[in-house]
Structure 1
Amino acid sequence: MSALTLRGLTVRRGACPVVDAVDLSVAPGEVVGLLGPNGAGKTTLMRGALGLIAADGVSSLAALPPRARARAAAWLPQNREIAWGLSVADLVALGRLPHGRGGTPADRAAIQGALAAMRLETFASRRATALSGGEQARVLIARALAQEAPLLMADEPIAGLDPAAQIATLELFAQLARDRRAVLTSLHDLNLAARHCTRLVLLDKGRKVADGAPRDVLSKTNLASVFRLDAALIETDAGLVIDPRGVLA
Structure 2
Amino acid sequence: MTALLALQDLSVHRGSRPVVDHVSLRVGPGECVGLIGPNGAGKTSLLRAALGLLAHQGQSNIADLPAHARARQAAWMPQSREIAWGIDVEAVIALGRTPWLPRGGRLRPEDRAAVDRAIRRMKLESFRHRPANHLSGGEQARVLIARALAQETPLLMADEPIAGLDPAAQITTMEVFGRIAAEGKAVVVSLHDLGLAARHCTRLVMLDRGRAVADGAPGAVLTPERLEEVFALRAFYSRSADGPIFQPLESLR
Could you tell me whether the CA contact under 8 Å between 1:190 and 1:242 is conserved in 2?
yes
Quick one: which amino acid aligns to residue 174 of structure 2? L
Tell me the alpha carbon deviations over residues 119-167 of structure 1, each in whole angstroms, 9 at most, x when there is no partner: 1122111110001111100100010001000000010111111111100
Partner of 1:76: 77
Partner of 1:95: 96
TM-score by length of 2: 0.96
Q: Helix, strand or coil: the match of 2:142?
A: helix
Partner of 1:10: 11
> In the comparison of the two structures, how many residue pairs are matched?
249
In the aligned structure 2, how far is the partner of 1:203 from the partner of 1:8? Answer: 14
Q: Helix, strand or coil: the match of 2:197?
A: helix
Q: Helix, strand or coil: the match of 1:116?
A: helix
Deviates more, 1:45-54 or 1:77-86: 77-86
Partner of 1:112: 116
* Distance verdict in 2 for CA 1:55–1:84, change over 3 Å: same
- The Cα of 1:233 is off from its aligned counterpart by 2.4
In the aligned structure 2, how far is the partner of 1:118 from the partner of 1:192? Answer: 17
Unaligned runs of 5+ in 1: none
In the aligned structure 1, how far is the partner of 2:126 from the partner of 2:250? Answer: 44
Identity within the alignment, %: 60
Tell me the alpha carbon deviations over residues 9-36 of structure 1, each in whole angstroms, 9 at most, x when there is no partner: 0000011100000001111100000000
Could you tell me whether the CA contact under 8 Å between 1:10 and 1:19 is conserved in 2?
yes
In the aligned structure 1, how far is the partner of 2:147 from the partner of 2:239? Answer: 36
Runs of 4+ in 1 over 4 A off after TM superposition: none
Q: Helix, strand or coil: the match of 2:157?
A: strand
RMSD (Å), alpha carbons: 1.0
Q: Helix, strand or coil: the match of 2:64?
A: coil
Could you tell me whether the CA contact under 8 Å between 1:110 and 1:146 is conserved in 2?
yes
In the aligned structure 2, how far is the partner of 1:105 from the partner of 1:245? Answer: 51
Q: Helix, strand or coil: the match of 2:146?
A: helix
Q: Helix, strand or coil: the match of 2:21?
A: strand
Is residue 2:29 matched to residue 1:25?
no
Deviates more, 1:224-233 or 1:214-223: 224-233
Is residue 2:134 matched to residue 1:130?
yes
In the aligned structure 1, how far is the partner of 2:79 from the partner of 2:159? Answer: 5
In the aligned structure 2, how far is the partner of 1:85 from the partner of 1:71? Answer: 27
Could you tell me whether the CA contact under 8 Å between 1:6 and 1:58 is conserved in 2?
yes
Could you tell me whether the CA contact under 8 Å between 1:34 and 1:202 is conserved in 2?
yes
Quick one: which amino acid aligns to residue 20 of structure 1? D
Partner of 2:35: 34
Partner of 1:191: 195
In the aligned structure 2, how far is the partner of 1:98 from the partner of 1:67? Answer: 7
Partner of 1:246: 250
In the aligned structure 2, how far is the partner of 1:166 from the partner of 1:44? Answer: 23
- The Cα of 1:86 is off from its aligned counterpart by 1.3
In the aligned structure 1, how far is the partner of 2:13 from the partner of 2:84? Answer: 30
- The Cα of 1:236 is off from its aligned counterpart by 2.3
In the aligned structure 1, how far is the partner of 2:247 from the partner of 2:188? Answer: 25
In the aligned structure 2, how far is the partner of 1:142 from the partner of 1:234? Answer: 32
Quick one: which amino acid aligns to residue 27 of structure 1? G
TM-score by length of 1: 0.98
Could you tell me whether the CA contact under 8 Å between 1:234 and 1:243 is conserved in 2?
no
